[in-house]
Amino acid sequence: MTAPATGVTTYRRPPFPRQGSRVPAGRTPGLVTAALSVLVACLLALHSAVPNTLGHLGSLLESFLPWLGLAVPPLLGAALLRRSTLALITLPLPVAAWLGLFAGVLGPDPEQPYDLTVVQHNVSDENPDPAGTVRSLLAASPDLIALEEVTEQAMGEYAAALAAAYPHAAVQGTVGLWSKFPVTEVRVVEIRPRAIVDDWSRGMRATVRLPQGDLAVYVAHLPSLRLGWKHGFGSTRRDGSAEKLGAALAAEPQDRVLLLGDLNGTLDDRGLNPVTSQLASDRSDFAFSWPAPAPLSRIDHVLARGSTVTRVWSLPRTGSDHLPVAARIRL
């Protein structure tokens, strides 16, 4: 006889995998999120280990290094969504790596004694308002002003707007220096990369006679970068120019040296090592300077040797595609 149906369906629970058997990937929630956290932490902490042989990827990473911190909020959201202990455990790694590099920008601007205020600005060869640009720069009350991309057509306007407050000036090619103090020993600094054969003068050196003693001031504009599928992060010309500038700085006999310029690279970019290994700047502010509508990196710099850059900050936008950068110097 057949047992009567009871109307109840019985489900058997599938057995757990035996010990040593393979667990499906879905049984480890947050594994991908955890791996991404580790990757971001490694890129931050070990960015110098990323090779530059393929498309200068190392320099590209270092040009936008602070922005890797934006990966943390999405990683946190993914970890909470997956309710993954593993992902939450690994999340402090990129946070710690980012803070290790950029914690100084989170605190208040340090108030330190200083002797000079300087302004550095790539004014753009397409700037429609040189006089207005100068007015913006004067708001910082600088003692020295360095400009790049000063065209012959606009030189008269810049010179006229600056002459009253800055009677001492020197211009070589498209770069210039305006000073409240006497300027002597002006000469061209040859930083033209080998690939450029046209007339190209973007480096100069001058001695500024300060009450505290002489200061060697360099003004430089390194070649622009190009980003494309064929050559990747095109920094070859910039790197070659940085090597020549580094050689000039190494040969400088003055103890106190100041460099102001558009170096087309960040302080972390290894392509600028010939320069940044000899001079230093302040890192208490990101002071992003390019592009002006939405600044993403600081490629305009004030660096010093034999003195200290105590603060660097960006100024309001002018008619240029760069923001001006101001700095205070303790001699």
DSSP string for residues in 228-263 = ETTTEEE-HHHHHHHHHHHHHHHT---SSEEEEEE-
163, 278: one domain: yes
Helix, strand, or coil (residue 328): strand
Tokens in use for 204?
A: 């100069």
Question: Given phi > 0 = left and psi -120 to 50 = alpha, else beta, which region is 264?
Answer: left
216, 95: one domain: no
Domain-embedded: residue 163: yes
123, 236: one domain: yes
Domain-embedded: residue 73: yes
The residue from 49, 72, 106 where one domain ends is 106
180, 320: one domain: yes
- How high is the pLDDT of residue 234? 83
277, 161: one domain: yes
- 271 membership: H or E segment, kind and range: none
102, 122: one domain: no
94, 132: one domain: no
146, 258: one domain: yes
Domain-embedded: residue 218: yes
Q: Which domain holds residue 142?
A: 116-330
94, 206: one domain: no
Domain-embedded: residue 162: yes
Neighbours of 31 (CB within 10 A): 15
Domain-embedded: residue 6: no
The residue from 47, 77, 106 where one domain ends is 106
Backbone CA torsion sign across 142, 147, 152, 153: negative
Tokens in use for 315?
A: 């100024």
92, 129: one domain: no
- How high is the pLDDT of residue 55? 85
101, 165: one domain: no
The residue from 86, 106, 126 where one domain ends is 106
By the 8 A CB rule, do 153 and 187 touch? no
- How high is the pLDDT of residue 196? 84
- How high is the pLDDT of residue 29? 77
Domain-embedded: residue 16: no
Q: Which CATH number do you get for residue 194? A: 3.60.10.10
Domain-embedded: residue 2: no
Per residue of the chain (331 residues), give pLDDT as tens. Answer: 444 555 555 545 554 444 444 545 445 779 999 999 999 999 999 999 999 888 899 999 999 999 999 999 999 999 999 899 999 999 999 999 999 999 989 877 778 999 999 999 999 999 999 999 999 999 999 999 999 999 999 999 999 999 999 999 999 999 999 999 999 999 999 999 988 878 889 999 999 999 999 999 999 999 998 776 666 778 999 999 999 999 999 999 999 999 999 999 999 999 999 999 999 999 999 999 999 999 999 999 999 999 999 999 999 999 999 999 999 999 9
How many separate domains does the chain show? 2
296, 156: one domain: yes
Domain-embedded: residue 19: no
Cα 49 to its chain centre, rounded Å, is 18
- How high is the pLDDT of residue 197? 77
